[in-house]
Amino acid sequence: MPDSNSLDAHLRQRAHQVIPGGLWGHLNAANLPAGYPQFFARAEGCRLWDVDGREVIDFMCSWGPVVLGHHHPVVEDAACAQAGLGDCMNGPAPVLVELAEKLVETIPHAAWCIFSKNGTDATTACATIARAATGRRKILVARGSYHGALPWCSPSLAGVTTEDRAHLIHFDYNDPASVEAAVDQAGNDLAGIIVTAFRHDMARDLELPTPAFAQTLRTLCDATNAALILDDVRAGFRLHLGGSWETLGVRPDLAAYSKAIANGHPLAAITGAEWLREPATKVFTTGSFWCGAAPMAAALATITTLHTLDAPTHLRTMGTRLRTGLAAAAARHAIPIRQSGPPQMPLMLFDNDPDFRLGNTFCTAALDAGAYFHPRHNMFLSCAHTPRDIDRAVEAADSGFSAVARVG
Amino acid sequence: MPDSNSLDAHLRQRAHQVIPGGLWGHLNAANLPAGYPQFFARAEGCRLWDVDGREVIDFMCSWGPVVLGHHHPVVEDAACAQAGLGDCMNGPAPVLVELAEKLVETIPHAAWCIFSKNGTDATTACATIARAATGRRKILVARGSYHGALPWCSPSLAGVTTEDRAHLIHFDYNDPASVEAAVDQAGNDLAGIIVTAFRHDMARDLELPTPAFAQTLRTLCDATNAALILDDVRAGFRLHLGGSWETLGVRPDLAAYSKAIANGHPLAAITGAEWLREPATKVFTTGSFWCGAAPMAAALATITTLHTLDAPTHLRTMGTRLRTGLAAAAARHAIPIRQSGPPQMPLMLFDNDPDFRLGNTFCTAALDAGAYFHPRHNMFLSCAHTPRDIDRAVEAADSGFSAVARVG
């Protein structure tokens, strides 16, 4: 239950005075069930403490960035050491070159990379580079896919003009025929196709891409000399270190990374194939902090550590353990649930729950019992999750299912 | 002279393999005179060391962010302490509220603020909020002004479509009649007017806004219920802590801040008047790292320290000392120069130097003598510059003028 005397409630009141709606964007707790905290005091490994001292095992990882767990010592030491030398200077530090070489070595499609700060910086630069390279304008986008928060791609239309989206053509994820129709519609004006690593639209079951769908995108881009853009902002470095479509054998021409690339330090990256290198020099993309060296040092340490730990395997193992545990707990309470998506980024939805009343009830009770789940958005595993953490979270989930059984 | 055996040259070669053109954006040393380093090893106060060990007194401050000097202990301690608790969590830390309250208290026009990462995030959100609030589309922009690096505002047209700029109407900075004509052209579709704090277009004399120009913008926005947007990304926190137009008595409806707000830590801010609060809740603007707490702690410490030091006055005093010293040195060599802009962000150009041959000669020689100036872009003072640093930089400038005298 939300407590109006809590420090969280007090901070929310103050925040409402000086921030529209109390908070902007995806971390606004107004989008979560009642009882979820807005403000956090501390983080360590896979654990968070809210400002009222409540400790939870976290399955959102700041909606993705924290892939190794909070305060990973190798990452923090690398960032601190670089910051002690210099961070925001009149040019980059040598770590820029080491990081760029590491990315090009790690990601098979990449001949080069550019760093920025937001996932949206990266997806937007990919679209712009595709247009610059082809001299064409149309970008194909899956209906409902999230590619960032600028007027061309934002899920809200407030302040957006028709012209901001004049050159988008939509298709349906995992529907090759709809892609073919969209390519036909683009005619000789097709610059590129942008696609998320899997279908992770909010509030519906996650869908992995079918091999036929992925191959169709590659074939159509090859046939038209358009750029296939993989938006790997959300999934990157969790499913496969070489890019999330490596297991499908389909390589993009451009890819956008952010979130997990530096374990929570602010960084994004565009990677590209050789034929897009020269066009990329023509596109002016920059920001005041894009050469900041400390986040690059954090990224180099993060990617090195992800390799050392074989992170995708660990995350899959932990995610599978969570999935198995949730399924067993739900079955004990005879509550029908659906689990979808890759185990590293799972989603659990309740059957017959159109308004998410059951999901919210589950999450609120599980939170009280010590696990921070999300009722509608895919969750995220981290390398800090141990079998013991998963098992304790499943116990918390059991409390959630009990609560659902009471209201259901 | 550039040394092909230098570590800088070696790093540039490696960078060219993995980064288009060796580096993206404004920090690419290809835009600087030969001999300027691309890579930096260390920074402290107002001094930079390149990777080959050359020490310089810096007058670019990473093109603005470093307003207190590198490694300011109060800022770094605050950022480290917050990072030790938690940085990138499932929501903000309490420091968000403290920082937002501090901004609203410091900036008279601001009733609220939103934080982001890039100056371009902030300018773009301002335009989007103005459109959402008014239900109109046209944004007036001064010809040649820089407002960021997205397709709607980038100085490069590569990959940009006509539609990206369909709703911009141009006027000339400091020309009230041209603004009136642009407002007429917008008719009943005027959403807002965006304007930089002063005219700081590259490679031409800087111009302060005339009071008549600033007042005309305010009057026209009031008459049309459009939003006056001050792009204070570059000048903010150097000219006046309450916003760069406070001395003109003209207050904007929206303002964009970044660069100096956190002394080099990645942060940007949108500030807005009360009537734009509710529309701002409708615009979806977000990023993976926008609630990161460590840069907010750095910003709070930076702004507090800027107040304590009365930074604008110190920067003006140091900038005036530099300007006086450069003028005297140029006069000794009988070399005609022009100095323009606010002393805190000065520019020095040579007469009769259309291709910047003299400016480049000056800068290269001054760099060799220990001062990092820029031949075409406004420079930046920091609170770490002491009278002694300025005097040593003027000595370096004297070497620069000697070199110009030899080639002139």
Q: Are strands A337-340 and A138-142 parallel, antiparallel or unpaired?
A: unpaired
Using 50, 70 and 90 to split pLDDT, how confident is the model at B259?
Answer: very high
Window 333-392 of A: residues touching B by CB (8 A cutoff) are: 372
pLDDT > 70: percent of chain A: 100
Q: Which CATH architecture has domain A73-309?
A: 3-Layer(aba) Sandwich (3.40)
- Which H/E stretch holds residue A278? helix A277-282
Residue A42 has pLDDT above 60, yes or no: yes
Listed residue (B42, B138, B74) closest to B308, CA to CA: B74
Burial class (CB in 10 A: 0-12, 13-18, 19+), A3: exposed
Q: What is the pLDDT of residues B90-123, one digit of tens each?
A: 999 999 999 999 999 999 999 999 999 999 999 9
Contact check, Cβ <8 Å, A25/B286: yes
Contact check, Cβ <8 Å, B158/A284: yes
* B282 lies within 8 A of chain A by CB: yes
Quote the CA–CA distance of B118 and B102 in Å, as a whole number. 20
Contact check, Cβ <8 Å, A90/B27: yes
pLDDT of residue A244: 98
Place of tokens 């920001």: A287
Quote the CA–CA distance of A21 and B281 in Å, as a whole number. 6
Give the pLDDT mean for A57-80: 98
Backbone angles phi, psi at A271, to 5 degrees: -115, 150
Quote the CA–CA distance of A217 and A302 in Å, as a whole number. 31
User: Do residues A86 and A93 lie in contact, with contact meaning Cβ atoms separated by under 8 Å?
Assistant: yes
pLDDT of residue B3: 80
Window 228-247 of B: residues touching A by CB (8 A cutoff) are: 233
* B14 lies within 8 A of chain A by CB: yes
Quote the CA–CA distance of B385 and B47 in Å, as a whole number. 9
Residue B1 has pLDDT above 90, yes or no: no
Q: What is the pLDDT of residues A232-269, one digit of tens each?
A: 999 999 999 999 999 999 999 999 999 999 999 999 99
Window 193-222 of A: residues touching B by CB (8 A cutoff) are: none
Contact check, Cβ <8 Å, B18/A104: yes
Give the distance from residue B343's alpha carbon to the nearest chain A alpha carbon, in angstroms. Answer: 20
Contact check, Cβ <8 Å, B282/A112: no
- Nearest chain A residue to B9 by CA distance is A94
Mean pLDDT of chain A: 97
Residue A10 has pLDDT above 90, yes or no: yes
* B120 lies within 8 A of chain A by CB: yes
Listed residue (A98, A42, A45, A33) closest to A70, CA to CA: A45
pLDDT of residue B196: 98
Sketch the domain layout of chain B as residue ranges: 7-61+311-407, 73-309
Contact check, Cβ <8 Å, A91/B14: no
Q: What is the pLDDT of residues B199-208, one digit of tens each?
A: 999 999 999 9
Residue B215 has pLDDT above 70, yes or no: yes
- Nearest chain A residue to B150 by CA distance is A285
- Chain B residues close to A42, C-beta within 8 Å: 85-86
Quote the CA–CA distance of B250 and B185 in Å, as a whole number. 24
Listed residue (B385, B24, B137) closest to A157, CA to CA: B137
Residue B272 has pLDDT above 60, yes or no: yes
Quote the CA–CA distance of B126 and B112 in Å, as a whole number. 13
User: Do residues B99 and B300 lie in contact, with contact meaning Cβ atoms separated by under 8 Å?
Assistant: yes
Window 59-98 of A: residues touching B by CB (8 A cutoff) are: 60, 62-66, 70-71, 76, 80, 83-94, 96-97
Residue A408 has pLDDT above 80, yes or no: no
* B118 lies within 8 A of chain A by CB: yes
Residue B6 has pLDDT above 60, yes or no: yes
**Is residue A101 helix, strand or coil?**
helix
Mean pLDDT of chain B: 97
Which of B132, B272, B291 faces A27 most closely, judged by CB atoms? Answer: B291
Give the distance from residue A389's alpha carbon to the nearest chain B alpha carbon, in angstroms. Answer: 18
Give the pLDDT mean for B207-211: 98
* B175 lies within 8 A of chain A by CB: no
Best mutation target among A107, A168, A271, A286 (most B Cβ atoms within 10 Å) is: A286
Using 50, 70 and 90 to split pLDDT, how confident is the model at B61?
Answer: very high
Give the distance from residue B15's alpha carbon to the nearest chain A alpha carbon, in angstroms. Answer: 6
pLDDT of residue B159: 98
Quote the CA–CA distance of B308 and A333 in Å, as a whole number. 61
Cβ neighbors of B70 (< 8 A, separation 6 or more) are A86, A89, B43, B44, B45, B46, B47, B48, B264, B384
Residue A1 has pLDDT above 70, yes or no: no
CATH class of A7-61+311-407: alpha beta
Contact check, Cβ <8 Å, A163/B160: no
Residue B269 has pLDDT above 60, yes or no: yes
pLDDT of residue A112: 99
Which of B24, B129, B278 faces A159 most closely, judged by CB atoms? Answer: B129
Q: What is the pLDDT of residues B138-187, one digit of tens each?
A: 999 999 999 999 999 999 999 999 999 999 999 999 999 999 999 999 99
Best mutation target among B90, B120, B286 (most A Cβ atoms within 10 Å) is: B90
pLDDT of residue B2: 56
User: Do residues B197 and B342 lie in contact, with contact meaning Cβ atoms separated by under 8 Å?
Assistant: no
Using 50, 70 and 90 to split pLDDT, how confident is the model at A2?
Answer: low
Which of B40, B80, B115 faces A90 most closely, judged by CB atoms? Answer: B40
